[in-house]
Amino acid sequence: MKEEINEKTTEKQKDEDAHTVFIGLKPFMNYVTGIVMQFTTRGATEVNVKARGKFISRAVDVAEVASKRFLENQIKVDNILINSEEFENKEGRTVRVSTIDIKLKKV
Amino acid sequence: MKEEINEKTTEKQKDEDAHTVFIGLKPFMNYVTGIVMQFTTRGATEVNVKARGKFISRAVDVAEVASKRFLENQIKVDNILINSEEFENKEGRTVRVSTIDIKLKKV
Does the beta-carbon distance from B102 to A82 stay under 8 Å? yes
Q: In this predicted model, what pLDDT tens digit does every residue of A20-67 receive, in sequence order?
A: 999 999 999 999 999 999 999 998 999 999 999 999 999 999 999 999
pTM of this structure: 0.82
Residue B101, min C-alpha distance to chain A (Å): 11
Secondary structure of B24-85 in HEC code, one letter for each residue: CCCCHHHHHHHHHHHHHCCCCCEEEEEEEHHHHHHHHHHHHHHHHHHCCCCEEEEEEEEEEE
Residues on chain B touching A68 (C-beta within 8 angstroms): 84
ipTM for this prediction: 0.81
Q: Chain A to chain B, count of Cβ pairs less than 8 Å apart?
A: 47
Q: Could you tell me if B66 and B36 are in contact, meaning their C-beta atoms sit under 8 angstroms apart? A: yes
Domains of chain A with CATH codes: 2-106 (3.30.110.20)
Strand bridging mode B75-88 / B46-52: unpaired
Does the beta-carbon distance from A102 to B82 stay under 8 Å? yes
Give CA–CA dist A103/A75, Å, rounded. 10
